[in-house]
A and B are shown apart, each in its own frame.
Chain A
């Protein structure tokens, strides 16, 4: 589905060159849910920029559905860190626009948007402007917008980063229930280890500056996943394994810094 091959990305400015991604390779299979965990500033959003074609990698290649798409936009459905709903379009209008940009016929886009808003309990907000929605509701709309888009790969960039802990867990459960009914290939970025464990089939652990892959973990839990999973012994064990990687990375960064 998605293949990222030996991608490096560096930014140059007056003070010199900064390597953000170094020789990264990863794959996402059809219908697979993969998470990337890494500290803030490790280059996760940059990686998404490269995969989504916003930025040309310094070297390396991106392939989506077997097709070389390096530096080409339009091949992914995207849920950004901020909800990024257009304030002058209604909730349904926002979803409709994104779908039509991706090539869905207008009438179908509209009816899909309305049907799904109904399904997730936001039917009464279909005609409302985004500013009347709470942060959590805006993120639901933003997720729905990505889910309904025809592109086969979804990129979710820290979708719940700005929400409080309770809303966050609630949203994870909600996302999982929707996704399990409607499986798409997903690449999720998060800095929450629990979130990655709870949601994904596979987890890729990134180090900071430059980002390289520290570990890759296949998550053994069967689906559909239950909330009690968070108390499972294997869950705890995997959590501390990922935590150790991130902590070591942070220590190393501290040593390099001093």
Chain B
């Protein structure tokens, strides 16, 4: 009950602001401050999206984008997780690879898109590979940081009482890296939708990215806006899903306002 009211009090202010912004947009078009053939009004966008010749196609493309995002996100984050764990357990290998990993952060990975398309054609493979690559780095680096950042006195305690490398990893390092892992996953979530739509734009047959490109080429701004809104919604949904999982997994954190409250001694 208390929690629900708390959530509501955090949700309504930004919702109100968003509502006002949409209303302004609608008003700007309705009162002809901007030409409606340049920027369609929200009502027009919704109407166009639900038109019987558009909606089924829009949903088909949404499905394709969702699929690509899911494959890329799952594959990339799994690879990032596994590599981070391996590098952590093999410090020698880590010394060689970690600096390169950090350097590669400066490579805008989307530039690999056209190269992937050149090498692997227009199928699902090059797109999925691109999304995986994009998701891989933030997860790997956040996870490695979390594993290394494990509290030194806890590590000493666990070693002193006889924990081996595996026990240390499963019982101490992995749980204490979870927080960082989730930060990495959230970054990967928004990158994955971004890179998936970008990949679709390169070979605009399937997916919302492709549909958007075709809509702009055919000069149908309502459809372009509709696909943009759907892409944003996918991105938000994935982020929200991860935040939910995080809350379900990390239950031991002191809640806000509870942090300093102790039971009497």
Contacts and interface: CB of A to CB of B under 8 A. Distances in A.
Interface of A: 49, 52-54, 73-78, 80-82, 84, 86-89, 97-98, 101-102, 125, 129, 131-137, 149, 151, 155, 167
A73 B165 CA distance: 12
Contacts of A101: 158, 161-163, 167, 171
A76 B265 contact: no
A3 B83 CA distance: 44
A136 B161 contact: no
A149 B161 CA distance: 9
Contact of B175 (A74, A77, A88, A151): A88
Given A132-B263, A134-B263, A88 B252 contact: yes
A183 B83 CA distance: 48
Interface stretch (B104-112, B135-143, B149-157, B229-237): B149-157
Interface string B145-182: 00000000110111111110001000110011010000
A52 B262 contact: no
Given A54-B156, A131-B254, A77 B263 contact: no
B161 A102 contact: yes
29 contacts: A49-B156, A54-B159, A73-B159, A73-B161, A73-B162, A73-B163, A74-B161, A77-B161, A78-B160, A80-B153, A84-B153, A84-B154, A84-B157, A86-B154, A86-B171, A87-B252, A88-B175, A88-B178, A101-B167, A101-B171, A102-B161, A132-B254, A132-B258, A133-B262, A134-B263, A134-B265, A137-B265, A149-B161, A167-B265
B264 interface: yes
Given A86-B172, A88-B252, A131-B252, A125 B263 contact: yes
Contacts of B176: 88
Given A53-B160, A89-B252, 16 more contacts: A73-B161, A74-B161, A76-B161, A80-B157, A86-B175, A88-B176, A88-B250, A101-B167, A102-B162, A129-B251, A131-B254, A132-B262, A133-B263, A135-B262, A137-B263, A155-B160
Contacts, number: 78
A50 B150 CA distance: 22
A54 B93 CA distance: 24
Interface string B249-260: 011111000110
Given A133-B262, A134-B265, A167-B265, A74 B153 contact: no
Contacts of B158: 101
A55 B31 CA distance: 77
Given A86-B171, A101-B167, A129 B160 contact: no
A73 B158 CA distance: 10
B165 to A, nearest CB: 12
Nearest to A80: B157
A229 to B, nearest CB: 24
Across the A-B interface, the 9 shortest Cβ-Cβ residue pairs: A74-B162, A136-B265, A134-B265, A52-B160, A134-B262, A84-B157, A129-B252, A88-B252, A78-B160
A99 to B, nearest CB: 9
Nearest to A149: B161
A133 B252 CA distance: 13
Interface-centre pick from B156, B178, B261, B264 (highest chain A CB count, 10 A): B156
Interface in B95-131: none
Contacts of A149: 161
Nearest to A171: B265
B259 to A, nearest CB: 8
Interface string B224-246: 00000000000000000000000
Most central of B161, B171, B175, B253 by chain A CB within 10 Å = B161
B172 A78 contact: no
B171 A97 contact: yes
A12 B259 CA distance: 41
Interface in B72-99: none
Nearest to A76: B160
A21 B192 CA distance: 55
B175 A78 contact: no
Contacts of B159: 54, 73
A98 B159 CA distance: 11
A53 B154 CA distance: 16
